[in-house]
Structure 1
Amino acid sequence: MSLPPLAERLRPSSLDELTGQQHLTGQGSILRKAIEQGKVPSMILWGPPGVGKTTIANIIANTLQVPFYTLSAISSGVKEVREVIDLAKKQSNVILFIDEIHRFNKGQQDALLGAVEKGIITLIGATTENPSFEVNSALLSRSQVYILKALDKNDLIALLHHAIEKDVVLQTKKIDLKETEALINISGGDARKLLNLFELVTDTLGNNVVVTDEAVMEIAQQRIALYDKKGEQHYDVISAFIKSIRGSDPNAAVYWLARMIEGGEDVKFIARRLLILASEDIGNANPNALLFANATFDAVNKIGYPESRIILSQCVTYLASSPKSNAAYMAINTAMAAVQQFGDLSVPLHIRNAPTKLMKNEGYGKDYQYSHNYESNFSAQEYLPNEISGTTFYDPGKNAREEELRKFLKTLWKEKYGY
């Protein structure tokens, strides 16, 4: 009888054994308290692959000693959901764990809603996608969302040493963990991927194992698939895809797009990333980019594969060939940093809303200058709180369109904002 993979053999059975996620599962944390009190709400566990979503669900079920059912959104539909709900009606305190819940469509999610509302099941959904986009609002409002973080380098190294010390197979080998950088870089913060790669390396090297970066890279290149449909290289490839578009290389961008399409990547995932990039990396250098990306998102959702590959290719090559600017992205980051630094600064009285007589008497709206009453529809009055007056948050990029914006703003504000 063959043993399960290393990652499965080492799966933690208690919160104390879990690596990382101390903000959720450490002593005194909100989720740990809920588990210890036996009052676990329906929840969505949101985080990258291999950080403990499935493990936490199993730990909750084991700790509470309640019936536990598992479904995968990839292979299950409404029929399977209803079968579990029918079983749950005959039991009590049933937990239903749904992996990759973001892949459930609206109808499948609606099938869960009544059972969650009535307390027939406690739902635990796991997702790598933002639940605000992928989980319907009614189901989301009845669930707590817990965000899991990628494991850091120290977490991953500790996990490797734990495997060497505790695993029944690795204990039979002499293992010198000489270098870890390649293991950590390839795993990308994914504990499952790290352990499976480590097992592959130790199996390949025999009983006297010296783990070096060179050995790991050689074995990984020989044995790891180019793009795993289950998501093993999901984040590596999307990173290369985004950086190629940002770097204005349409050839590389369309290649990485092809890799994702061939790997069965969710068309909505790709289209959503293009929408984000259109503002983050192009912005006002070419405002049409956001319109194009939004139209692409709508179109591929209507059409799906295989025809949507053509629409995606058109959008990707257009975005990659567009002038680039991250000025809008930097503007909101800088402004949010100011909010965090200065707190809730008072709104200047003259631009406050004054719907009541009392507010008007207090000076709300007094001396406000309606821009359209002035030449060029502009009045150089103050719009920022006094404490940060003159702070430049938006610095137009060095491209043709934003240079025009810079010239326009400079004629209005003279030297106030340094344009």
Structure 2
Amino acid sequence: MTDLFTTKPKPPLAELLRPKTLDEFVGQRHLLGPGKPLRLAFEAGKLHSFILWGPPGVGKTTLGRLAASATDSRFIAISAVLAGVKDIRQAIDEAQAELDNHGRSTVLFVDEIHRFNKAQQDALLPHVESGLLTLVGGTTEHPGLAVNSALLSRAQVYTLEPLSSDELNQLYERALPHLQGVTLDADALDLLKGFADGDGRRFLNLLEQVTNAASGAGKTVVDGQSAKLSTSPSLRRFDKGGDEFYWQLSAFHKSLRGSDPDAALYWLARILDGSGDVSQVTRRMVVVASEDIGNADPQALQLALNAALAYERLGSPEGEIPIAHAATYLAAAPKSNAAYAAWNKAKTFVKNSGSLPVPLHLRNAPTKLMQQMGYHEGYRYAPDEPNGYAAGQSYFPEGVARPGWYQPTDRGVERRLGEWLTWLRSLDDGTLPEADA
């Protein structure tokens, strides 16, 4: 009779297929292929502390286990989401006992190591440095932003990549003996690979889900329609507050700047497909309209603002249409950063030149005393001057010559602005007669 309290539950497919050796590991050939750095370290049995940076489901925990196995070390795993300094101290005590009693070193795997605060990370430092612990950290966040520099200086960072279509095929082949005689046709396999989005664990979980459903229904082959009915589409890889979000947002921004409407729409679709923050998207569009387009097409700024307002009014999916509308316009518009560059130069000048006094002729004179002190004297009202321009009038502090920060390009509307400004400057110089432009 089976004892309910000692019967072990059947492990999920992803656990059944967890690699026991490097040769069973799927993916990351840039680190584990022949002659590659991690393989060489594992084969030599000379392990160093390292941090594995990559998306979920690509083998971070498994590599930590294999590191311990390769060096005959004790393996301790903690999650930075749940663990605190107390757990770190317990791991250190266990590592010391293992060394004292059995002469074995310890590999400490810290999952989501970016969740540790500075004090928690610092608690690891002396023991990593002494060699008591070989640290293997797993993180989905950029280590340079999430891990303190002292720990980074003691650990090598390795980047892990999402699993490719061929690598997911390898997982499928290895899983076949565990699928109760059920197979997938090409459409079903492609569907699951698309839903997995490079995440091996997710792929195996989906595979187990659809084959269990098929087996329960007495089917031996899963087609695309059956796979779709027994699963739900998972969101593409996207982290609203992490690297993936900002990478995609950066790619969208650069596509607008680079005048590629199709690429802009691609990254926009990726962001929205991942339920990204639309306000961040429209914010970037407004920035592009002024920073990268500027006066080459002044209408771009209004269109970007209108798209943001339209989305606020409509929401998804209808509100996505004006965003796509504005994005294609911004990408196709002529580009000029002349206004942005001029603004940066003006800020630098003000920072370096101090608080120069406002010239008297530019000051208002609402009182008789101010008039007696010369305020507003000599100011010329431009709309009443020939051509609407007070030729020769200075608007800078005393002694500051017009610096020429704003240099219009010859693109779009800005070309006409440049020609007009050049003509006005000729009036200042007296090189042209005063006539309508």
Q: Same fold (TM over 0.5)?
A: yes
Evaluate the alpha carbon distance shift between residue 142 and residue 234 of structure 1 in structure 2; reply closer, same or farther with a 3 A threshold: farther
Q: 1:5 and 2:12 equivalent? A: yes
Q: Corresponding residue for 1:198?
A: 207
CA contact (8 A) 1:178 1:211 kept: no
Tell me the CA shift for residue 178 of structure 1: 3.6
Runs of 5+ consecutive residues of structure 1 not aligned to the other structure: 225-231, 258-269, 289-312, 332-371, 380-393, 413-419
Q: Corresponding residue for 1:256?
A: 275
CA contact (8 A) 1:183 1:213 kept: no
CA contact (8 A) 1:240 1:256 kept: no
Evaluate the alpha carbon distance shift between residue 409 and residue 40 of structure 1 in structure 2; reply closer, same or farther with a 3 A threshold: farther
Q: Corresponding residue for 1:154?
A: 166
Superposed, 1:95-114 pairs within 5 Å as 95-114=107-126
Tell me the CA shift for residue 72 of structure 1: 0.7
Q: Corresponding residue for 1:137?
A: 149
Tell me the CA shift for residue 6 of structure 1: 0.3
2:404 to 370, 376, 382: 376
CA contact (8 A) 2:114 2:146 kept: yes
2:219 to 208, 212, 216: 208
CA distance in 2, matches of 1:100, 1:234: 20
Residue identity over aligned pairs, in percent, reads 37
Tell me the CA shift for residue 164 of structure 1: 0.4
One-letter identity of the residue aligned with 1:196:
N
Superposed, 1:303-382 pairs within 5 Å as 376=404
Q: Corresponding residue for 1:62?
A: 69
CA distance in 2, matches of 1:35, 1:44: 15
Q: 1:89 and 2:89 equivalent? A: no
Q: 1:126 and 2:133 equivalent? A: no
1:175 to 183, 202, 211: 183
One-letter identity of the residue aligned with 2:207:
F
CA contact (8 A) 2:18 2:62 kept: yes
One-letter identity of the residue aligned with 1:127:
T
One-letter identity of the residue aligned with 1:208:
K
**For 1:331-378, what per-residue CA distance to the aligned partner results, in whole angstroms no more than 9, with x for missing partners?**
9xxxxxxxxxxxxxxxxxxxxxxxxxxxxxxxxxxxxxxxx9996259
Q: Corresponding residue for 2:378?
A: none
Q: 1:21 and 2:25 equivalent? A: no
Greater C-alpha Rg: 2
Tell me the CA shift for residue 85 of structure 1: 1.1
CA contact (8 A) 1:282 1:326 kept: no
Tell me the CA shift for residue 40 of structure 1: 1.4
CA contact (8 A) 1:109 1:139 kept: yes
SS of the aligned residue for 1:16 comes to helix
CA distance in 2, matches of 1:278, 1:236: 19
Superposed, 1:172-321 pairs within 5 Å as 172-179=180-187, 180-206=189-215, 208-221=219-232, 233=235, 235=237, 256=275, 274=280, 283-286=287-290
Q: Corresponding residue for 2:49?
A: 42
Q: 1:32 and 2:51 equivalent? A: no
CA distance in 2, matches of 1:124, 1:395: 55
**For 1:107-131, what per-residue CA distance to the aligned partner results, in whole angstroms no more than 9, with x for missing partners?**
2212212221222211100011111
Q: TM-score, normalised by structure 1?
A: 0.59
SS of the aligned residue for 1:82 comes to helix
Tell me the CA shift for residue 395 of structure 1: 12
Tell me the CA shift for residue 71 of structure 1: 0.2
CA distance in 2, matches of 1:395, 1:34: 58
One-letter identity of the residue aligned with 1:81:
I
Report how many aligned residue pairs link the two structures: 295
CA distance in 2, matches of 1:236, 1:181: 21
Q: Corresponding residue for 2:83?
A: 76
**For 1:387-415, what per-residue CA distance to the aligned partner results, in whole angstroms no more than 9, with x for missing partners?**
xxxxxxx999x9xxxx6599669999xxx
CA contact (8 A) 2:85 2:123 kept: yes
CA distance in 2, matches of 1:143, 1:68: 18
| Superposed CA RMSD | 4.6
Tell me the CA shift for residue 204 of structure 1: 0.4
CA distance in 2, matches of 1:205, 1:395: 65
CA distance in 2, matches of 1:6, 1:183: 15
CA contact (8 A) 1:102 1:134 kept: yes
CA contact (8 A) 1:51 1:151 kept: yes
**For 1:232-267, what per-residue CA distance to the aligned partner results, in whole angstroms no more than 9, with x for missing partners?**
747257589978998799xx979936xxxxxxxxxx
Evaluate the alpha carbon distance shift between residue 277 and residue 45 of structure 1 in structure 2; reply closer, same or farther with a 3 A threshold: farther
One-letter identity of the residue aligned with 2:200:
A
CA contact (8 A) 1:173 1:208 kept: no
CA contact (8 A) 2:110 2:136 kept: yes
Q: Corresponding residue for 1:52?
A: 59
- Runs of 4+ in structure 1 deviating by more than 3 angstroms, as ranges, are 236-249, 252-257, 276-279, 281-284, 320-327, 372-375, 403-412
Evaluate the alpha carbon distance shift between residue 406 and residue 178 of structure 1 in structure 2; reply closer, same or farther with a 3 A threshold: farther
CA distance in 2, matches of 1:183, 1:47: 21
CA distance in 1, matches of 2:197, 2:166: 13
**For 1:211-233, what per-residue CA distance to the aligned partner results, in whole angstroms no more than 9, with x for missing partners?**
22222221113xx7xxxxxxx74
Evaluate the alpha carbon distance shift between residue 255 and residue 88 of structure 1 in structure 2; reply closer, same or farther with a 3 A threshold: closer
SS of the aligned residue for 1:376 comes to coil
